[in-house]
Structure 1
Amino acid sequence: MFRIIFAGTPEFAVPSLNALVKIGLKPSHVITQPDRKSGRGKKISKSAVKLCSEKHKIPVLQPKSIIDAKFLNLIKEINPDMIVVVAYGIIFHEELLKIPKIGCINIHASLLPRWRGASPIQSCIMNGDLKTGVTIMKMEKGLDNGPIYSHHKIKLNQTETADHLNKKLADLGAEAIKSDLESILLGNIKFKSQNENEACYTGKIKKSNALMDWKNSSKSLERHVRAFNSIPGAYFMYGDEPIKCWKAEAKKNNAKPGHIISADKRGIEVACGKGSLVIHELQRPGKNRISAAEFCDQVYSANKPLLSL
């Protein structure tokens, strides 16, 4: 029997942890990030992976630092054959990578070497990729640059939001574990190096990245809205207010970027650098989501600019 440690934190990692249990490779321990304050009440919250681990009665480790000598010694004592990492949220130090007998593997939410880094789901949507998937890779020093065991692909339908795609890839990651992990442990699947010439990178998302620029094309902005749905939420400025845009549709009408072509029950149509964007669903700060028609009734005045360029 192989001794597995699982490392993960958000909801994305939960299907993979459940998959390990289901195929008889229940981890001896789970590593997840420390409990944190969250929400308006700033209550201490457990990670999704910790809650799942407690359900399966798996011991949980929550180191403040994964390079802490006490933590590293504990992992050495556990003596794992492999550490399976899914969205843990912190890059593993080289000393930790060397501990498992077979090594550490990562389930990454892109088809590596495309979209190495922290936000591959948002990046593939924003760039209009036609396919994506998950990669099982052997972890090495560096950012998602280790050799690849397997790719698992899906087509993108060009209507995906980041939330929907996150769920799809989380489930696909679980299926990848069920399909390949035992063979990897037995040495029946060999890894191959990534093609560095095909590598591209994506960083952590900041709220400022979600600001809509009307000088961009309508197709680009439509993808932008989907890519940042729901965190942090694409937004534009209406006077001094940041207005989140939850649903929009690209059209071909042209005018000066930022000009409001129409605003009625069919939506708020705004001219872009190329084409126009019809906004269907919006949200003011501290308010509920509303339709464009409701926004027009409650807020919009033809004499007030929709945005600031």
Structure 2
Amino acid sequence: MTQPLRVIFAGTPEFAATNLSALLDSDHRVVAVYTQPDRPAGRGRKLTPSPVKSLAHRHGLPVYQPTSLKSAEVQAELASHDADIMVVVAYGLLLPQAVLDIPRLGCLNVHASLLPRWRGAAPIQRAIEAGDSESGVTIMQMDAGLDTGPMLLRRTTLIDTTTTSGELHDQLAKLGGEAIVEALDALAGLGLAPTPQPEEGVSYAAKLSKAEAELDFTQPATALVAKIHAFNPWPVTWTKLGSETLRLWQAEPGRRRDDDPDSPPGSLLPADSDALRIACENDGSDVLRVTLAQLPGGKALPARDLLNARGDRLNTGTLLGQPDPMQEEPRP
């Protein structure tokens, strides 16, 4: 590296804050931080700064929170920082072409997938949900498209059948911080050769919704396990248990035993000592073994503890995903 770079950092959530922390520990100089406006949070709906803003304030960095980057005034302010490069990590605002053109070396994005797979809003969760065996981060030169710019650097990590999106998030945040510092070091020296993204293998990671977190037990156990881990810690998969909601946090696939009743998908089978067992589809032999679950008013508990505390609500033969008949509206 010949000379440290002047960096504008743009990001909002914890993932971005981890990357900012890595830059602050590097030889490069962060001259300004852009983040989303404070949002209401918690039961009191108090305006709360983003993790990136909190970190920036602890380091005495100037923070800017425009609602858009489209105005000439905001763009002029951004240009006044005389930055060599802008690093964008889960910022949440569109960067117009005029902004992309301001820094001398352009704008880099730290994207939490192995592009071109999983462009879009939820690459970490969609990779786990799809059963991918690996993920990673891509340092990308930003252009006007959605995660379509040329790649400068990629780093990979493995996904196994127990990995949750929370765990993968933390792994990729750390990996992203290491990768962006490495990329900036290279750009400050001999440079990096950009590689166009291949046209084959493109997929899109749609934003998560709470509605899609409801489990469908007519699916195979492996698909249900992948979804449970993908939606942990948010929005958390769930199913109806009579009039209550049972939230499922961790699980593994299993098989029916010879002494199991011939029950339809969604039925509670005789429990193991360490797992709830739910019948699901795949030639009728699949079982979802739930090892961590949560009932309303309580915290997520290992299945053993949940059975000891609330076993009366988890009887063999109970059909999940069905409303409590006592709660149904009477017919006219």
Give the TM-score normalised by the residue count of structure 2. 0.88
Tell whether 2:113 aligns with 1:110: yes
Counterpart for residue 305 of structure 1 = 319
Counterpart for residue 228 of structure 2 = 225
1:66 partner letter: L
Could you tell me which of 288, 294, 310 is aligned with 1:277? Answer: 288
Counterpart for residue 53 of structure 1 = 56
The runs of 5 or more residues in structure 2 that have no matched partner are 257-261, 324-332
Indicate how the Cα distance of structure 1 residues 203 and 163 shifts in structure 2: closer, same or farther if over 3 A, else same. same
Counterpart for residue 290 of structure 1 = 301
Give the TM-score normalised by the residue count of structure 1. 0.94
Counterpart for residue 88 of structure 2 = 85
Kept in 2: contact 1:184–1:190 (CA 8 A): no
Kept in 1: contact 2:267–2:317 (CA 8 A): no
The runs of 5 or more residues in structure 1 that have no matched partner are none
2:127 partner letter: C
Indicate how the Cα distance of structure 1 residues 284 and 68 shifts in structure 2: closer, same or farther if over 3 A, else same. farther
**Any idea what SS the aligned residue of 2:36 has?**
coil
Counterpart for residue 261 of structure 1 = 269
1:207 partner letter: K
Indicate how the Cα distance of structure 1 residues 239 and 137 shifts in structure 2: closer, same or farther if over 3 A, else same. same
Tell whether 2:152 aligns with 1:149: yes
Moved over 6 A (4+): none
Cα deviation, 1:94-153, whole Å, max 9, x if unaligned, reads 221121111000010000001001111111111111111100000001110000001111
Kept in 2: contact 1:28–1:59 (CA 8 A): yes
Indicate how the Cα distance of structure 1 residues 187 and 199 shifts in structure 2: closer, same or farther if over 3 A, else same. farther
1:123 partner letter: R
Counterpart for residue 33 of structure 1 = 36
Identical pairs, percent? 37
Could you tell me which of 126, 137, 156 is aligned with 1:123? Answer: 126
Counterpart for residue 329 of structure 2 = none
Cα deviation, 1:241-269, whole Å, max 9, x if unaligned, reads 32210121210228531122223643221
Instruction: For residue 2 of structure 1, report the CA deviation from its aligned partner.
Output: 2.6
Could you tell me which of 10, 34, 53 is aligned with 1:7? Answer: 10
Pair member with larger Rg: 2
Q: How large is the RMSD of aligned CA atoms in angstroms?
A: 1.8
Counterpart for residue 328 of structure 2 = none
Indicate how the Cα distance of structure 1 residues 306 and 100 shifts in structure 2: closer, same or farther if over 3 A, else same. same
